[in-house]
Structure 1
C-alpha cells in the first residue's frame, strides 16, 4: 500500500511517497523503546537481518534420551489437541496446543513448513510460535522474501531480539530449528539470571545465547513475573495459519555431575 508522508526539510514540509506495510515494516511502531538499543518494540525501521542462503532443514533423529513430542503418527504428547495429522505431518488448526509434560532447560529440535502457494504478507499467512515453558516465544514465520519488523522475524525472541541473520528458505520448503533454552534463575522475587536461548536455523546460528527481557508479549516491554515455575509445558501457537510441523523432540538438560536417573 502506498502512503503519503510529510517530511521536515529546512523548516518546511515536503510531501513524499513512502511505502509501508500493514504490519509496520518501514515505519516506527509507536511502542515503548527496548532497553539498550534505539529501537521500539516491533520497530519497522530497525535494520533487516542479512539473508544467508543455506541448504535448508537439517533433520536430526531423536537421541536415545529424547522425549518425542511428535513422531509423525499421533498427538498423544499434547493436551486435547485440535490440530490434524496428515502424511506424517502435524498441521496447526483452531487453537494453540500444549504439551502434556512440563520442561525447564531443554535442547529442542523441530522442523516446520509454510505450505506452498499460500499468500504470506508480513505477520499474516505463515505465522506460528514455539513458547518455551509456555512463556518465552521463538517466532515461527515464513520470512523468505517477506519483510516485517525484525523482532517479529523467524527465530526472533518475539518482540525482543531479532535474529543475527535471516536463514529462512523459500516457502514450501522444510525449515529446522535447534534450540537450547535455559530458564531464568531467581533469588526470591528477583531475577538473578535471565532466560536465554541459542537458536540454530537450518544449520545457521541465529541467536547466540540471547537473553530474554522477560516473558513474551505483544507491543509492550517484556517483564519477568515475581513468581516463576521450575518447569512448564511447551505451547505451540495457532496464529490462523495451517503451519506444518514434524520431527519434534526435546532433551531435558540436567547439570554437570548430576546423578543419573
Structure 2
C-alpha cells in the first residue's frame, strides 16, 4: 500500500512540517541552508548534508522525496541523494526509473550492501515514499551482540526485508553504534526535494508495549 501523503500519527515526532527547518542542522551544528517552497525542502547543492536534532534508536520512519529531471546525466550523477538512518546506514536516493535490474547503488538500495529486491522507482518529478522499520544494533557495554536490521518499503513495495546490516555504510556521521543517532539527508550535488517527514520511536523487545505485528 502506498503511503503518499500519510499523516503523522499522534505518537510521531514530526521532523519536517513543510514550513520550517527548525528541527534540522548542518552536520557541524550550524543552521541548515536548504530551501523550502510549496511545503517541501530542497537540497541546495554545495551547502552540505543536514541532520535532525532528534536522535533515534529503534524507530519507524516515513518520508517523501521527489527526484529532479536530469536526462543528460547517468549513473550515480542522476538526481543522487541519500537517507541515513542514525547517520550511519544509507538508503540510496537516485533516479533509477526504468532500470531492469537494480544494483547496490540504485534507488531503494542499502548503499553498497543490499540491492533492492525490485525496482520500485518512479520517474523524476513524481513524489515517492520511503517507509522504514529500523532496529538498532544491540550492544552489551562496548560489545556488539547483534547488527542493525532494516525493512524498507519504496512506494509501498518491499525492497528490503528485515536485512541485517553488517556495518555502517559509506560516509557515516560516526561509527559508534552504541549511541542513538540522527536522521541525515544527503547533499550529493543534485537537486532533490523532501517532505512529510516523521518518525515513531519503537519500544525494544521485552517491553510490555512491544508488538512485532
Taking structure 1 as the reference length, the TM-score comes to 0.71
Q: CA deviation at 1:59?
A: 2.6
Distance 1:66 1:143 in 2: 30
Larger Rg: 1
Q: CA deviation at 1:148?
A: 8.7
Per-residue CA deviation, residues 179-208 of structure 1 (Å, 9 max, x unaligned), is 000111123443211101100111111100
Higher RCO, 1 vs 2 (CA within 8 Å, ≥6 residues apart): 2
One of 36, 39, 44 as aligned partner of 1:85 = 36
Distance 1:209 1:166 in 2: 18
Distance 2:132 2:74 in 1: 26
Secondary structure at 2:97 match in 1: coil
Stretches (4+) displaced over 2 A? 55-59, 115-120, 145-149, 187-191, 227-230
Q: CA 1:118 to 1:74, structure 2 compared with 1: closer, same or farther past 3 Å?
A: farther
Indicate if the aligned counterparts of 1:128 and 1:139 stay in contact, CA closer than 8 A. yes
Distance 1:146 1:82 in 2: 33
Q: CA deviation at 1:117?
A: 5.2
**Residue matched to 2:89:** 136
Secondary structure at 1:123 match in 2: helix
**Residue matched to 1:193:** 146
Unaligned runs of 5+ residues in structure 1 are 1-54
Indicate if the aligned counterparts of 1:67 and 1:250 stay in contact, CA closer than 8 A. yes
**Residue matched to 2:57:** 104
**Greater Cα shift, 181-190 or 246-255:** 181-190
Unaligned runs of 5+ residues in structure 2 are 26-30
Distance 1:82 1:146 in 2: 33
Secondary structure at 2:77 match in 1: coil
Per-residue CA deviation, residues 104-161 of structure 1 (Å, 9 max, x unaligned), is 1110000001123554411103111111111111111111035797111111110101
One of 141, 166, 170 as aligned partner of 1:217 = 170
Distance 1:195 1:117 in 2: 34
Indicate if the aligned counterparts of 1:129 and 1:139 stay in contact, CA closer than 8 A. yes
Taking structure 2 as the reference length, the TM-score comes to 0.86
RMSD of aligned Cα (Å): 2.4
Is 1:63 paired with 2:9? yes
Distance 1:178 1:136 in 2: 15
1:12-31 aligned at under 5 Å gives the runs none
Per-residue CA deviation, residues 78-110 of structure 1 (Å, 9 max, x unaligned), is 021110001111001121001111111110000
Aligned residues: 200
Q: CA deviation at 1:233?
A: 1.2
Q: CA deviation at 1:211?
A: 1.0
